[in-house]
A = this chain, B = another copy of it.
């Protein structure tokens, strides 16, 4: 049995104020053992929506070396601003995509960050 995952659970928590500069989303996915290919195909289709949105800068999808990692897959995505991130995550299209059957099997923990130090 799997729980339903609402579209709201796919959006990082907000503060009162919006960060005007660049923000980085880290979205950590729980993927059951042996389901990597299924997750990856689903994520790949879904990512096309985000890549086409205003303010999208880049993404790197990471897979853990260890099969025992709590978060087997992590997407790190940069956006021009928090407003851009939130706009992309509040459309009807977004809601439709992330509530598609299948996604409920891969819960995620989306959290927004600012880059404080950058080397190399």
Q: B-contacting residues of A (Cβ < 8 Å)?
A: 12-15, 19, 23-24, 26, 40, 44, 47, 51, 56-66, 68-71, 73-74, 76, 78, 82, 111-120
Contact = CB atoms under 8 A, between A and B. Distances in A.
A12 to B, nearest CB: 8
**Interface SS of chain A:** strand
A114 to B, nearest CB: 6
A81 to B, nearest CB: 12
B117 A44 contact: yes
A112 to B, nearest CB: 5
Contacts of A62: 24, 26, 113-116
Contact of A120 (B12, B56, B63): B56
